[in-house]
């Protein structure tokens, strides 16, 4: 997902001009680095937050589901807003900082596809 986002952002922003492939590779590398970094952050947060201070909400994820939703789904709803904002910032701005946005959002998408 990060690769496609980086590629299409460059194609869209260059508007037919020559694409700076070294900058595109650097942007993609930062996105991959941010994805890896976010995976470590997510592992720590799951252990230190979800299974500690936020256990009363996360516990529903470890019990059999009773209905279409569980209290743990609140985390996905809360994280959706920042994810949409980061993706929009990453797509509509130039430079290397947007690559970090793509990496952060890629982590969430990979988590959703792999774990659920």
Task: Examine the pLDDT at 32 and tell me if it is beyond 80.
Answer: yes
Determine the pLDDT at residue 55.
Answer: 93
Contact 50, 58 (CB under 8 A): yes
Determine the pLDDT at residue 86.
Answer: 87
pLDDT, the chain, mean: 84
pTM score: 0.72
Task: Examine the pLDDT at 2 and tell me if it is beyond 80.
Answer: no
Q: DSSP character for 93?
A: -
What number is the average pLDDT over the span 13-31?
A: 83
User: What gap in Å lies between CA 78 and CA 115, rounded to an integer?
Assistant: 18
Structure tokens, 2: 């990060």
pLDDT-wise least confident of 1-5, 22-26, 99-103 = 1-5
The runs of H, that is alpha helices, within the chain are: 2-14, 21-45, 55-58, 73-92, 97-115
User: What gap in Å lies between CA 78 and CA 58, rounded to an integer?
Assistant: 13
pLDDT class of 1 with cuts at 50, 70, 90: low
pLDDT class of 44 with cuts at 50, 70, 90: very high
């Amino acid at each position: 997902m990060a690769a496609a986002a980086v590629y299409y952002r460059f194609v869209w922003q260059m508007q037919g001009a020559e694409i700076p492939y070294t900058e595109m590779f650097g942007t993609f590398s930062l996105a991959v680095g941010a994805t890896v970094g976010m995976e470590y952050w997510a592992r720590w947060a799951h252990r230190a937050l979800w299974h500690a201070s936020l256990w009363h909400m996360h516990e529903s994820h470890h019990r059999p589901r009773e209905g279409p939703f569980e209290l743990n789904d609140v985390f996905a709803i809360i994280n959706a807003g920042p994810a949409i904002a980061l993706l929009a910032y990453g797509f509509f701005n130039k430079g290397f900082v947007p690559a970090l946005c793509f990496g952060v959002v890629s982590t969430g998408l990979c988590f959703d596809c792999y774990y659920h």
